């Protein structure tokens, strides 16, 4: 296992800080965190993948946020992924895991545009994904797997891929364990080499949730009993 700690683009950092503030509320001068849903945790981690278009809007009286990635988005994670590919033997098959379905589509398009044959395996590709999986290692060099899909349908990859790159891990550890198990070569021909891409602030690894929990606990200890 190899971990790669990356510096984020300044626009990414700014977007993350704005989103963290969006998910915080202040009462009587003390920080009190709101409960972070799985969706909210995913959004914060997704911002580490690249510089996104972030839109804050109101719907049915509730403030919401929309995150989208353009194929030309700046992504330190993508740049490191290309370095990993370049360091491997030419055309060696690689599995790339992401949790964001939106970024999976962008990653696949960026790779194909840069001359690296890739296919996306997710809920959006159900019509072609079995055929694409069958051609992994011949027609396609990179399989871009949305973790939730990889947890249930990627058995057999261990006969093809010896290298995985995790752009992000699911907030659901069961999905992570299942996805790893589908391509784990332990007891087989060999063992998969796993690369984990992390940002220097630890946000992709869930630091935001941990920090909010600590702030919540601190706020409770500072409550004035009446």
- What domains are there in the chain, each with its CATH number? 7-69+202-221 (no CATH), 76-199 (3.40.50.300)
pTM of the model: 0.83
Average pLDDT for 5-20: 92
Q: Which helix (H) or strand (E) holds 19?
A: helix 10-22
* All residues at 6 or more sequence positions from 77 whose CB lies less than 8 Å from its CB, including other chains: 6, 48, 49, 50, 167, 197
Over the stretch 56-107, which tens digit does the pLDDT of each residue have? Answer: 999 988 888 999 999 999 999 999 999 999 999 988 999 999 988 899 999 9
Do 225 and 34 meet the contact criterion of CB atoms below 8 Å apart?
Answer: no
DSSP string, 149-166: HHHHH-TTGGGT-SEEEE
Q: Report the mean per-residue pLDDT for the chain.
A: 82
> Where residue 54 falls among pLDDT bands split at 50, 70, 90?
very high
C-alpha 172/C-alpha 99 separation (Å) is: 10
**What integer pLDDT is reported at residue 226 of this predicted model?**
44
Query: 3-7, 157-161, 185-189 — which is least confidently predicted?
Result: 185-189
Average pLDDT for 44-53: 92
């Amino acid at each position: 296992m190899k971990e790669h700690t990356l510096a984020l683009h300044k626009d990414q950092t700014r977007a993350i800080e704005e989103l963290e503030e969006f998910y915080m509320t202040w009462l009587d001068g003390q920080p009190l965190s709101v409960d972070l849903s799985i969706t909210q945790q995913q959004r914060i981690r997704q911002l580490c993948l690249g510089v996104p278009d972030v839109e804050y809007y109101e719907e049915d009286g509730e403030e919401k946020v929309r995150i989208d990635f353009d194929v030309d988005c700046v992504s330190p994670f993508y740049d490191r992924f290309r370095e990993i590919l370049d360091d491997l033997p030419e055309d060696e098959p690689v599995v790339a895991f992401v949790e964001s379905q939106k970024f999976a589509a962008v990653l696949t398009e960026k790779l194909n545009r840069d001359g690296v044959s890739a296919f996306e395996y997710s809920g959006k590709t159900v019509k072609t994904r079995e055929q694409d999986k069958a051609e992994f290692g011949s027609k396609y060099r990179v399989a871009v797997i949305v973790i939730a899909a990889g947890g249930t349908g990627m058995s057999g990859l261990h006969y093809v891929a010896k290298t995985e790159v995790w752009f992000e891990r699911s907030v659901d550890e069961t999905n992570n364990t299942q996805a790893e198990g589908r391509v784990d070569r332990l007891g087989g021909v060999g063992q998969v080499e796993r690369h984990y891409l992390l940002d220097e602030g630890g946000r992709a690894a869930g630091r935001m949730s941990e920090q909010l929990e600590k702030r919540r606990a601190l706020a409770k200890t500072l409550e004035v009993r009446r």
